[in-house]
Structure formats: structure tokens, C-alpha cells
Structure 1
Amino acid sequence: MTPSASSSGTVIHEVFGRAYERGEQPALIDLRGGHVYGYRSLVTEVTRAASGLVRRGARRDQVVGVHVSTAGTQTVALHTVLAAGGVAAPVDPGLGAEEVAERLRECDARMLITTPDLAGTAIAAADGSRVRQVVSLGPALDTIDFRGLLVLEPIALPALDAERQDALALPGGARLTHAGLLARMDELDAPVGLKESDVVLSTWPPGDGADLPALVGLAVSKGALIVAAGPGDLPGHGYDAGVTVLTGPGGALERVG
């Protein structure tokens, strides 16, 4: 299953449009999560899981909370929601159950994707919101295993309108369309002009904003490699990993070397 041609101009089309031709070239190294995502396997997992969400009743424009602990899991979960025609609501993983529930109520989420380490908080938050299904990227009690979405009978993914279709539900009721998220990707790219040969070191943790999704989307769309790290994840200095672009505060990117 490939991104739908009828979704041209959307985040999914722009980010993954050349993923298959890049094969298993690494797209994202998630040091905190301990995973390496290749281009082909990443787009395959996202589109198959999106089909599974639709099979499980996810509807176009439905809000799905993304309550995960690493950049890699946020990337998989968020793009799965977008490919299914939904609106992703990033949730700060540092919030407590009642705060997560408040966030889910604010955006009227009906589904929540989490990780096993946050599943207890996610389940408690779901009980205080209108969420009826909690999907976990890994086995966790009282959740739907994300891997199960990948084996459901494939179904066509919905066509999307980049200008009108919301991509992200942000705190305070703000929304960002697919076109708006692509515009944010362009803003991040302006100072550095990412190339396929670049290695981007990101120290931005998953949160409730648009910058990390925009950064990962930008890097993948350009064919670059993004290394997502937290404090202490890299032995020595980031330059040792061949890094050419660093992230800074306030959504800034800086070319080095």
C-alpha cells in the first residue's frame, strides 16, 4: 500500500513520496527508543497501520491523541493518524493522567496512541475523556497492540485536501492544516537548506507542539538522516556521529562543520 495519489500535496505525500525508491536507507535513528527506521519500512508500517485504524472505525477528521515517549514512536503514530485521514493531537508525555484527560477532552479525541511505559497514564486519562480505544506501540494491559493493526485486511485510505484538512490539534484549541504543517517545515528548512547527505541531530523531546513533527517530516522528505537524542544518549560530542545540522531553542536549525 502506498500513499494515495489523491492525497497529493498533503504531509503524507510530501514526506513519504520518495520513500520506496530510497529503500532501507536509514531515515530516523531513535537513540532513546533504540530503533532505526528505514524509509521503506517506515512508510509501509505507517500506511498499513493507517488502514488498520480505518478498519477499526477511525473516521476522517477524527482526533487521535498521540501520547508517546520518543521521537520515533511519535513519528510512526502521528503519520499513521494523518494517513488514516485523522487529526493528530500531540500530548506532552510528562503530563499526569488528569492533565492528559483534560487535553483529550479539549480536542475531543476519540482514540489515543501511547507507548507501554505511558500506558497506565493513558488508560487512566482515557477513562476521564471520550476516548474509547487506546492503542499501544508495544504490548500493554488493556490496550490494542499496534502490531495488530498491520495484519488487518487492507482498505483504501481516504483522499485528503491539503488546504482544508487539519493535521494537528494543538493546545488551546488551535489547529494546523496539512498545508500549515508543510509551511512550518519550509520555515525550519529556510536557514539550512537540508540535503540528502545531511545528518540532523535533534534533541527536541516529544511534546504537544508542531516543531518536532515538522522537523522529522522535513528530514524524511529531503532524504536526510535524523538522529533523535536526549541528554546522555550520545557518547561524546554530536559531531562524532557525522552530524551536519543541529537543533536549537525556539525551533531553530543550525548548520555545523
Structure 2
Amino acid sequence: MIYRSPHPEVPIPEVNITQATLGRARARGSRPAVIDADTGRTLSYARLASALSAASVGLARQGLRPGETVVLDLPNVPEYPLVAHSVLAAGGVVAPVPEQLPESLLARLLHHSGARYLVTDPARLPRGLAASRGTGVRQVLTVDARVTDEDRRAAPGPQAADEAVPFSSLMSPGGPTDTAPPAPGPGDLAVLGYGGSQAGLPRAARLRHHNLVAGTLQLVVTADIRTEDRVATTLPFGHPFGFGGVLNHSLCLGATLVTAARPDLADFLAMVERHRVTVAVVGPPMVRALAEDPLVSQYGLGSLRLVVCTGAPLAAATALACRLRTGAVVKQAYGLAEAAPATHFHALAEQEGEYGSVGPCLPWTQCRVVDPPSGADRVPGDPGELLVRGPQVASEYHGGPAGGHPPTGDEDGWVRTGDIAFADELGRFHVVDRRTDLITVRGRPASPRRVEDALLRHPAVVDAAVAAVPGRTATGYVVLRRPVSDDELHDHLAELLPPHQRAVAPCRVEHIPRTAAGRVLFARLDGRALRVRRVEGT
């Protein structure tokens, strides 16, 4: 069964993503495009347009050729849209780093992407200089001119990349022969989309300008962000939804981005209060904090009208609790690195009173739910693997320096998402779990997310994550606000879950590390939490 979007389709213009996103920037004049949450420093749309034009010429003067890759290893700084779109306007390919990587993984990403340039900031510069050695990187640039001798000494090396160039220097006047590089076309490669990864280098989807334009417009017509909004996010701009669903989407509408490099809960709440943020795009951990954390009551969040949650499944009860406490409408979005950036958005969550769904397909998007082994279509209400296709979905993966780019989907364009989901009778989709995260307990499949949601319903549990263990046992890592016995937790699960799903060994930890999008970093859990005690389920 093929599910189609209920939203009306509108034409997709034949332009590149910079033209679609910032083509009207000069006309928006002094309207703020980006505000730095910490300093209040503001970049207007007119200044952004002028700087972008100068920087794209400067990149060409620096030696960037059309089709060459520039890796962006940056926090959410005000310069991020300037850097990204000047590279794109110059015909380059942007490879945003989705999360801060260790040096070894950053080096692998630089090699895999075929990067010729790396743009970073002073805090990450020593790691970037070290990672670039032995790769094809010709030059490292930094968004801040404060490059010290200490920064350089931290990662000495013989190649020219050790002399980091301030990105701002690209905007200095050039010679009389400097001209704007030719604008890329809709079919030209624009982004190498790397998804988050815990174990190693993830695959990169080859997204073309028309993919990005389609993905931006799909959200413009469904996601309820407005020109007058101030938008903040805890997602990195390097995250697929952070780049497409926040940065490009907001700038296309003429909204204002409020940026913070590494906001914790207190930083985020202060940013919302101080800058009158109206839209927050966050992962499930922040929604849960907004719903439950006592710190929230110390800040004025009256400006906040919309919370968009993405990156991992969000329980309906948590979304509703956030709605009732903050007064902001909570809507879920679903996307993947192969899309640019989303395939689903629940625009009518408030009207329908359904907070646990990611909604129907976006415009021009089609979906199926299939049995993973056989590929047979599932009926509504029956979980299976979610398949997607649409104009925002990449058609191939990056094959690395050797080329040979493999297709993302089958011969009919269907891309396997790796997520288990089901569609309800109204065509709204509900994401259950990652297919690779499903666990087998006593020979029967079990959903870690369902067990986590059950644990979180206990009043003493602040956070929870469930990991697979070979054999009959799974481990439930829990953060507690007060002491509670294993027997009490087991009795609690027995009220909510079938017998095979409650065979969970509780393991108490002080903190569950997660990405900004909410995915659990099991490899970073405290070593004490990795000990598993066998529990005999009933």
C-alpha cells in the first residue's frame, strides 16, 4: 500500500538552494537574520547577502573549484549560514559534521568526503589541524580571526593546512579581475549528508540542489514557522534537520535564527526568555525537560508558541505534558540523512489531539510500510519498516574517493529508512524504533522504546534507556530522582508490559549520554553501567 501526502502540491522552482533560501535577503534589509544568544551580536539579512557575495568570490580566489567539498566542523555560531551558503554559491559541496567527532573519525570523514577545505572554529582548530594531516585538505579556515600560536602548536604538522586562514579574510576586496563564480544549477551536487553515528563513519547521502529546494519548500508549506518568528534549536546545524529544517527553512521565510554554540538546559531557557524565542526545534530530551524539570519554572517562556521535536521518537504523554506546562504547541517531524531534511511533519497535531505521531507524508512524498524480510506491504496499524521516496530524497550515496556511488533505493526509488513504524487509519505515521535497535527476549521481539516509555512513567525515573543483551536479558539504564528497589521497578513494568518485555535488569546510572537529537550513546555510559545482572522474567 502506497501512502500519499494529503497536502497540496506546489511547483518546485528550478533554482539552487542559496537562491531559494537567500534570494530575497537584500530586500529584507535590516531585518535580523541571525542573533548570537550570548552576545546579542546581530547579522541582518542585507549584511548576510553582501558578506555571502564577497565570501563566495573569496573562496574562488582561494582556489575552491566547483564540485569540491568543504567540510564544516562548527558549532551553532552566527557565521554558519554565511559559511555554508558562500560555499554553495561558489559551486562547492558542503559536508556538515553532524556532531562533534573525535579526531580519528573526523580524519576518516575528511578522507571519505574528498574534502579540499575544512572550516572550523578556534576551540576545534587543534583537532581539525591534526585530523587534516594525511588527507586531501588543502586549507583549514576558521570562523574567528583569533588563531593563536598556542592553537598551532597544539597540532604541529608540515603541510600548508597548519596555517589556518580566518574566514573573514575571504571577504576583503580582491583584484579587478575577481568575478562572482558561476551559480550552480538545480542538478548540481550541494551537500554530503552524514547522519549521526556511534560506532564509526556513517554513510553520506549525495544531495543535489533540487533535493534541498524541495525539502525546504515542503516544510515552508506545512511546518507553521512564520516570517515574524525567532527560531532557536538545540540540534547542531550539522545535523540533517538542523541544516535543512532549521537553518534553510527559517532563512527562506525571513525568520530570525537565535544561535548558541552548546546550550544546556539553563542556557536554552535563558535564550528563550532573553530573546523572546517563539519556535524551538529540539530533540526528545529537551521536550522531556520542558515538561518535567523544576528549573523551567524559573524562566519566563511566554513567547514560545511552537516546539518541533525530531531526531528520535517522542512519547505522546511527554509531548502533552510539555504542551500543558509551557503553553506551546508540540509537533513532531521525521527525517533522515537521505532526505533534505524530512519526509513527515504533523501539522495538525493540536487540532487532532494526536501528539505521538510524526504525521502524514510531506507534499510530493510517498511512503510504504513493509515486512522487513519479505518486502510485503503491511496493513494500517501493523508495524514494519518504513520506506520513502520523493523529490527531497537523495538517489545515491557517496562512494568515497574511489567513486562508484551506490543507489540509496531500489529500482523504483524506494529508500529503506531502517525505522520500524506503522500508519494509522488516517494515514498518520508512528515511529516505533530503529530496526537495528529491536531486541529479542525469550525468542520474541521487543521494542526498547516501549520499555523505556514504561520506565519513564514511574515517578522516580528521570531518564531511561534500554540496551540489548545476548540471551534472555535486556538492561534498563535508569536515572533516579529517589532510591527505588528492583522489585518496585519490576512490579511497575508488570502493570504495563507483557511478560517477555519486562525481563529487564535495572542498572542505575547518574547520567545517560545522548546526542542533541536524543539518541543514546551507549558506548559512553559509565563502565559500571555495563555490568549486566541476569533477571529471570516471569
Is 1:160 aligned to residue 184 of structure 2?
A: yes
Match of 2:278 in 1: 244
Distance change >3 Å, CA 87–CA 97, structure 1 → 2: same
Q: Deviations over 1:27-62 (max 9, x none)?
A: 122326764221011121122111101011110011
CA contact (8 A) 2:69 2:92 kept: yes
Is 1:72 aligned to residue 78 of structure 2?
A: yes
Is 1:112 aligned to residue 118 of structure 2?
A: yes
Listed as ranges, the matches of 1:72-91 within 5 Å are 72-91=78-97
Distance change >3 Å, CA 51–CA 98, structure 1 → 2: same
Q: Which of the two has greater helix per residue? A: 1
How far apart are residue 161 of structure 1 and its match? 1.0
Match of 1:226 in 2: 257
C-alpha distance in 1, partners of 2:39/2:73?
Answer: 14
Which residue of the other structure, out of 127, 130, 144, is the alignment partner of 2:165? 144
CA contact (8 A) 1:189 1:218 kept: yes
Q: Deviations over 1:102-140 (max 9, x none)?
A: 001111111111111111111111103110111111122
Q: Which moved more, 1:230-239 or 1:34-43?
A: 230-239
C-alpha distance in 1, partners of 2:271/2:82?
Answer: 28
How far apart are residue 179 of structure 1 and its match? 1.1
CA contact (8 A) 1:33 1:72 kept: no
Q: Which moved more, 1:29-38 or 1:246-255?
A: 246-255
CA contact (8 A) 1:165 1:178 kept: yes
How far apart are residue 205 of structure 1 and its match? 2.0
**Higher RCO, 1 vs 2 (CA within 8 Å, ≥6 residues apart):** 1
Is 1:123 aligned to residue 129 of structure 2?
A: yes
Listed as ranges, the matches of 1:182-193 within 5 Å are 182-193=213-224
Match of 1:178 in 2: 209
SS in structure 2 of the partner of residue 111 of structure 1: strand
| AA partner of residue 213 (structure 2) | L
C-alpha distance in 2, partners of 1:99/1:17?
Answer: 35
- Give the percent of matched residue pairs that are identical in Structure 1 and Structure 2: 29
Q: State the TM-score, normalizing by the size of structure 1.
A: 0.86
Distance change >3 Å, CA 54–CA 31, structure 1 → 2: same
CA contact (8 A) 2:98 2:236 kept: no
| AA partner of residue 183 (structure 2) | A
Q: State the superposition RMSD in angstroms.
A: 2.5
Q: Deviations over 1:85-112 (max 9, x none)?
A: 0000011452122211100111111111
CA contact (8 A) 2:229 2:256 kept: yes
CA contact (8 A) 1:101 1:129 kept: yes
| AA partner of residue 159 (structure 1) | A
SS in structure 2 of the partner of residue 110 of structure 1: strand
How far apart are residue 22 of structure 1 and its match? 1.1
How many pairs are equivalent?
A: 248
C-alpha distance in 2, partners of 1:42/1:131?
Answer: 27
C-alpha distance in 2, partners of 1:88/1:152?
Answer: 24
Match of 2:243 in 1: 213
| AA partner of residue 164 (structure 2) | T
How far apart are residue 8 of structure 1 and its match? 6.4
Give structure 1 regions of 4+ aligned residues with deviation exceeding 6 angstroms: 253-256
Distance change >3 Å, CA 121–CA 85, structure 1 → 2: same
CA contact (8 A) 2:74 2:120 kept: yes
Any stretches of 5+ residues in structure 1 without a counterpart? 1-6
How far apart are residue 194 of structure 1 and its match? 2.8
CA contact (8 A) 1:71 1:206 kept: no
C-alpha distance in 2, partners of 1:93/1:33?
Answer: 23
CA contact (8 A) 1:31 1:233 kept: no
Match of 2:398 in 1: none
Is 1:201 aligned to residue 224 of structure 2?
A: no
C-alpha distance in 2, partners of 1:240/1:108?
Answer: 41
SS in structure 1 of the partner of residue 132 of structure 2: helix
Q: Which moved more, 1:108-117 or 1:153-162?
A: 153-162
Match of 1:3 in 2: none
For the pair shown, which has the larger CA radius of gyration, 1 or 2? 2
Distance change >3 Å, CA 60–CA 33, structure 1 → 2: farther
CA contact (8 A) 2:56 2:180 kept: no
Distance change >3 Å, CA 244–CA 138, structure 1 → 2: closer
C-alpha distance in 1, partners of 2:39/2:119?
Answer: 16
Distance change >3 Å, CA 8–CA 202, structure 1 → 2: same
C-alpha distance in 1, partners of 2:166/2:233?
Answer: 28
| AA partner of residue 170 (structure 1) | G
CA contact (8 A) 1:55 1:152 kept: no
Any stretches of 5+ residues in structure 2 without a counterpart? 1-12, 153-162, 195-202, 282-308, 312-331, 334-344, 351-538
CA contact (8 A) 2:35 2:41 kept: yes
